[in-house]
Structures are given as structure tokens and as C-alpha cells.
């Protein structure tokens, strides 16, 4: 799985958009970008994933650059409950042999302020 | 729909003992994975089971083992506990075959004294 680089921490004001960057310059053509978050003392929570097109769901949007070397997770209207560690992960899905394995880095600690 | 259920939530053991942790996946999910989380090493993959077969394994010693039953429920066992085994053990079930969309339980927090 390709390595990812994320900022250690970020701050965001409540109600504003939180934009979390991730660098994955060694991503291969069939690897997907996944985002998870972990709120203190809870298990990680799946947010979104994508291959090359931008994706949106009820939680967030994922913007992947055209060269796929970086991506941005966007929480459109951050709330205090979005304070968490956010993990960007790159891996193969169907067709690969990563069965169940996600390689978590250190992630970005997002703090949402009132 | 019930989420991933792990038991026990908290337990304390002493060095040399063994421990068994249990995980019930989301109904219909057949893949179950286990992770260890420590402050020093972060989240690390232990192993994954599907249809009672281990398909993937992380870099952990043989003291760490697991199994899956026909109803997809899974257990993991750690024998001859060491102080360094103190951690949050997380179980996850997956929506489909190798989709990468894992649903995690709340974890079992093990303290080894």
C-alpha cells in the first residue's frame, strides 16, 4: 500500500468547512483513497473513499487531484462532534489481497472550536 | 441494525496469563478483522477471517491467534501475556469482499499488570 502524509494537526471554527489534505504521491493506478476518523476512545469510523473521481456522501466530500498524488477531505460545516483524528489510507480493494487490512498512519488531529 | 459488538469492554490480566476476546460482526457481514491500538504504535492490523478461514495476517508473534465460527462471530486469543500487550483491541466487519469499508466496534481495553 502506498504511503500517505498528513499534517499532524489542524484547527477549524465551528460551522466552517474543514479541509483536510493528504499526500499520496506514490499511489498506483488501482489503489483507492480511504478516509476514516476516530473520535476519542471509540473505534475508527469509515467516512468515504474514491479512486479518481470526486465523491460526496452525507458526511463529507473527497476531492482527488487529477494526477491522484493528493486528495482533500472536506467536512462542509464542521461541528464540535467532528473533533477527531482523521486518517487517510491508500489501498487496493476488490481484486487485491489486502483483506481486512488498513494501514493507519498517525493521522491529522482536527480540533473544531466554538 | 446492530453494530459490531465486542466483549468484554474492559479487562485486567497479569503477565503470563492468557485472554480471549469476542467479536460479533454486523449481521450479514462475513469478514472480520482485528486491530491492536497502542499509544506508541498506533493502529496495527492483526488478522482477518472470512468463512472461518484466516486470509490475512499482520506482523505479530504467534501468541496472537484468532478464529471465526460458522455464524461469522470471531474470537482472538493472546497467550502468555506481556506488559506490552496492554492495548485497545478493535474488531471490524466489512460490508463485502475486500471493499475496504470496515465497521469497527468500540473495542476491548486490555490492561496487563
Residues of A with CB below 8 A from B55's CB?
Answer: 97, 99-100
Of A44, A89, A103, the CB nearest to B104: A44
- Is the CB of B102 less than 8 angstroms away from the CB of A94? no
pLDDT, residue A92, reads 81
- Is the CB of B105 less than 8 angstroms away from the CB of A43? yes
Helices vs. strands in chain B: H and E counts, helices first: 0, 11
Grid cell at residue B25: 460482526
pLDDT means over runs of 10, chain B (113 residues): 92 98 96 95 94 94 97 97 97 85 96 98
> Which of left, alpha, beta for B69 (phi over 0: left; psi -120 to 50: alpha)?
beta
pLDDT digit string (tens) for A52-71? 989 999 999 999 999 999 99
- Is the CB of A100 less than 8 angstroms away from the CB of B102? yes
pLDDT, residue A57, reads 96
Of A94, A101, A106, the CB nearest to B97: A94
- Are B109 and B38 within 8 A, CB to CB? no
- Are A2 and A102 within 8 A, CB to CB? no
**Average pLDDT, whole number, for chain A?**
93
Quote the minimal CA–CA distance from B78 to chain A in Å. Answer: 20
Q: Per-residue pLDDT for A1 more than 70?
A: no
Which strands make up the sheet holding B5-7, listed edge to edge?
A: B5-7, B19-24, B74-78, B64-68
Which residue matches cell numbers 473544531?
Answer: A112
Grid cell at residue A6: 498528513
Q: Phi and psi for B70 in degrees, rounded to 5?
A: -65, -20
Q: Cα(first)–Cα(last) distance of chain B, in Å?
A: 37
Of A36, A87, A94, the CB nearest to B99: A94
User: How sure is the predictor about A87, in pLDDT bands with cuts at 50, 70 and 90?
Assistant: very high
Amino acid at each position: 500500500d502506498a504511503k500517505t502524509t498528513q499534517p499532524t494537526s489542524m484547527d477549524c471554527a465551528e460551522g466552517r468547512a474543514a479541509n483536510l489534505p493528504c499526500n499520496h504521491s506514490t499511489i498506483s493506478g488501482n489503489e483507492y483513497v480511504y478516509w476514516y476518523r476516530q473520535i476519542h476512545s471509540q473505534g475508527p469510523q469509515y467516512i468515504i473513499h474514491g479512486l479518481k473521481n470526486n465523491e460526496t456522501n452525507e458526511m463529507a466530500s473527497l476531492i482527488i487531484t487529477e494526477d491522484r498524488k493528493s486528495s482533500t477531505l472536506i467536512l462542509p460545516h464542521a461541528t464540535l462532534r467532528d473533533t477527531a483524528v482523521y486518517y487517510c489510507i491508500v489501498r487496493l480493494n476488490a481484486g487485491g489481497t489486502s483483506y481486512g487490512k488498513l494501514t493507519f498512519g498517525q493521522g491529522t488531529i482536527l480540533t473544531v472550536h466554538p | 441494525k446492530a453494530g459490531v459488538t465486542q466483549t468484554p469492554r474492559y479487562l485486567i490480566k497479569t503477565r503470563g496469563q492468557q485472554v480471549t476476546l469476542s467479536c460479533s460482526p454486523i449481521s450479514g457481514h462475513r469478514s472480520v478483522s482485528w486491530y491492536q491500538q497502542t499509544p506508541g504504535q498506533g493502529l496495527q492490523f492483526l488478522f482477518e477471517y472470512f468463512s472461518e478461514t484466516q486470509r490475512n495476517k499482520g506482523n505479530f508473534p504467534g501468541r496472537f491467534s484468532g478464529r471465526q465460527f460458522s455464524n461469522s462471530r470471531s474470537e482472538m486469543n493472546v497467550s502468555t501475556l506481556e506488559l506490552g500487550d496492554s492495548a485497545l483491541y478493535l474488531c471490524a466487519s466489512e460490508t463485502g469482499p475486500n471493499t475496504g469499508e470496515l465497521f469497527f466496534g468500540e473495542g476491548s481495553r486490555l490492561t496487563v499488570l
